[in-house]
Chains A and B, each alone.
Chain A
Amino acid sequence: MRRVTAICNGTAIDHIPSGHALQVLKMLRFDVGRSNPISMVMNVPSGKMGRKDVLKIEDRELNQEELDRLALIAPKASVAIIRNYSVAEKRTIELGSELINIVKCSFSNCITQNDREPLPHKLKIVSSEPMEIRCSYCGKNQDIDEIVDYII
């Protein structure tokens, strides 16, 4: 059963872990100050995942840097660029070895907490399954469930 109508142009993100669509929007910085129409369904049945969320963002093709942000919370999501109601491109999400200026370290005593320090925020991916991320400066592990609160 189709719960959201097809979009003419934009980006469709499927297979988001159930209940995480709002976090994905926040991670993509689409939660505030945007005018693009966005359709969202949550907790719908999925053959692969049991339950899943789906997002459709109209009139905006997400670039690779934006998509790679998704890897932190929806590493297995499938992304399609839609043009004139058809899938024009399928894009994959890749989790690199380091996140530069995407997320801030959450540790209160880390040197990067001083906003006036100019070097980039750097977090390294220690493991992808289970997801383990550490600040490249202070070495503190980051809480994956809270990481969305620290996006830059």
Chain B
Amino acid sequence: MGDLITMDDLTNKEILQILKEANTLLPVARGETYLPLLQGKVLGNLFFENSTRTRMSFETAMKRLGGEVINLSSIGSSVAKGETLYDTMQMVDGYTDIAVIRHPNQGAAQYSADAVSIPILNAGDGAGNHPTQTMLDLFTIHEAHGSLEGLNVMMVGDLRYGRTTHSLSHALVRFGAELTLVSPESLKMPAEIVSDLKNHGAEVTETEEMASSIGSADVIYMTRIQKERFPDEDEYNKVAGVYKLDASDISEAKAEMIVMHPLPRVNELHASVDSTKHARYFQQAFNGVPTRMALLCRGLGIKVPKKVK
């Protein structure tokens, strides 16, 4: 019931409610006040793939709310000895109250949710979905624009393997977004996702060219071309560095346009953007804490108070 595997697990009303709760929890996320809503609860942080922000922000979120965290990584655990995901999850089911999972295989989060009784939060399954990232992305967009309705959003880079864009595009079209998907031909958004987006009545433009859409964008969502997802290095080298955004590229952008990036960045987002009023990616990374606090409370069925002192 408290699972979050894809954005389809949340209605628009629930999304807005979680964003509201995340906003209420901001002083707790910043450490300005202590609110032990999750005291006595244990989170299993299961990272079968590398992570910096997702893992740390979940851990911070749990601890700021008074909960405990136990960690598992594939290196040095039974996973390295060939244990099935099913068996690993049976153990986690016994040790924790809720689990966050990141796994290189697509479908691993749904599989885990089917295998156990505790709530499962998908923190990235291969090139599949990353809905908790989407929730913090939506929080960041809402914070900047005051609404999620009818925005013009550009997504740039690796849209084929980029799970953050898969989940985010699904969510945004439900709020009437117009999407411009900018990628090389070999890294286009998967056909079944584009088909879903269009079935929602969304206006979706697919292009290889970035510059001409910048002027009309409310959000530019840059992504890294993910070397680790390519089957061979030659294919990666063909497209690496194809998109680079620097401060001069956005000099004519709308005043309220924001630049986002799920991070880490390599060379697709130049440091010159950092000092512009458009840069929002470090704020976005912080927003993982209040948003994941709200998602942990949802998963565990704990009510977030309307006000926090």
Please classify the interface of chain B as helix (H, G, I), strand (E, B), loop, or mixed, using the class held by over half of its residues.
mixed
Smallest CB gap from A139: residue in B: B128
From 97 to 147 in chain B, residues with beta carbon under 8 angstroms from any chain A beta carbon are: 103-108, 110-111, 114-115, 125-129
Interface size on A, residues (CB 8 A): 20
Known: A114-B84, A116-B84, A141-B192. A109 touches B126 (CB 8 A): yes
- The smallest C-beta distance from A87 to any residue of chain B, in angstroms, reads 42
* CB-defined contacts of B105 to chain A, threshold 8 Å: 109-111, 113-114, 138
Any chain A CB within 8 A of the CB of B6? Answer: yes
Please classify the interface of chain A as helix (H, G, I), strand (E, B), loop, or mixed, using the class held by over half of its residues.
loop
* CB-defined contacts of A135 to chain B, threshold 8 Å: 107
| A111 in contact with B6 (CB, 8 Å) | no
| A139 in contact with B108 (CB, 8 Å) | no
Any chain B CB within 8 A of the CB of A118? Answer: yes
The docked-state distance in angstroms from the alpha carbon of A135 to that of B108 is 12
- The smallest C-beta distance from B126 to any residue of chain A, in angstroms, reads 5
The docked-state distance in angstroms from the alpha carbon of A51 to that of B47 is 55
| A138 in contact with B128 (CB, 8 Å) | yes
Any chain A CB within 8 A of the CB of B175? Answer: no
Smallest CB gap from A113: residue in B: B105
Beyond A107-B106, A111-B106, A117-B84, 6 additional contacts (C-beta under 8 Å) are A110-B105, A111-B85, A111-B107, A136-B110, A138-B106, A139-B129
Task: Identify the A interface with B (CB < 8 A).
Answer: 105, 107, 109-114, 116-119, 134-141
Closest 3 CB pairs of A and B: A137-B107, A138-B107, A138-B106
